[in-house]
Structure formats: C-alpha cells, structure tokens
Amino acid sequence: MIESIPPVNEALSGASKGALDIHDILKILPHRYPLLLIDRVLELKRKESIVAIKNVTINEPFFNGHFPGLPIMPGVLIVEAIAQAGGALLLTEVEDRNDKVMVFTGIERAKFRRPVSPGDQLRIEVEVKGWRAIPRMIAAKMHGVAFVAGKRVAEATVSCQLIDSSRGRGDSADDGAAAE
C-alpha cells in the first residue's frame, strides 16, 4: 500500500498519494540545476521504496562533452539520480532536513546495460535494503534500478548517511587562524 507522505512541514503539504511534483522535490532535496536529477516522484512507500522520473533532454549541460555527436547520459549521473531518489525518500522522514545533507558512503554493484539518450525518460525504482536511525545520525542502504521504456538500463546499490550541514565547515575565525 502506498502511504501519503506525512506533512512534516509545509514543504510536503501539497503531496498526496505518495506523488511529488518538482516543487515538492525542491523543498526536500538541496540539489539544484544542473545537478537536480529527478523531476517527479510517482510513488513513495515510507522507509520502503520510491519510484521517480528523470526526463532526459538534449539541453542537459553534460551532453556538450559526453559525447559530441553521440549524446549519452554519463553512468555516474544515473547512479546520482538513483541516490537522489533515495535521498528524497530518506529526507521525507527528517523534520530538520534543512539543516542536513545526505552524503554517499558507498556505491556497490553498479551496472550499466544500455545507453541513455536525449528524449529518454528514466524510471528510477529504489528499494530500501537497510535503515538505521540513532540520535544525530541516519544511514541507509538502497538498491536502485533505472529503466527506459521498460528496459533496465542501469542499477546500483548505494549507501548514504545524513549529516549536519555544518559538519566539515569550520568557523570563519578558525579558518583565518588556520591560514596563517
């Protein structure tokens, strides 16, 4: 059964039946153009799975160099789209997500089966394999599969961890002292 996404705050108040449009996604994920790689969420089962869509268009900046005359979406960006879909699933469970960043902690068993080209629509299906929440930390392992026209084009298992967005950033006073 697909559950409605809980309105943790106003960011999700428009979401129903597990669907999210681009405006909802922008309220959840910190990514922005040109690195926001999901356009819509079709289904979301809390802490279980998510189905997202990425519309691949010729005006994507990476097609200028990958490859001239033969535009192919880089496999690493397909894995990133899988991770972002998983991130949208994970971040819907976090009330203070504006103070958090989700980072990769691992990529396993990535496989690329077919090229993805302009005009394709990626259907990204991500299933949670493990979810661990302890005070001040959430970690997850998810397996994602990307399809175009019902055919598997890529898959990967990704691990991620939610961290405070201030982690790794020094105080500006400390930065000056370190530079001297």
Q: Is 23 a catalytic residue?
A: no
Q: State the catalytic residue, choosing from 23, 31, 66, 143.
A: 66
Which stretch of DSSP H or E encloses residue 153?
Answer: strand 151-164
CB 72 within 8 A of CB 139: no
Degrees to nearest 5, angle at CA 96 with 90 and 130: 25
**Closest alpha carbon to 42 in 32, 27, 54, 58:** 54
- Cα within 13 Å of Cα(110), Cβ side: 15
Rg (CA), the chain: 17
> How buried is 44 (Cβ within 10 angstroms: 0-12 exposed, 13-18 middle, 19+ buried)?
buried
User: Mind telling me the catalytic residues?
Assistant: 66
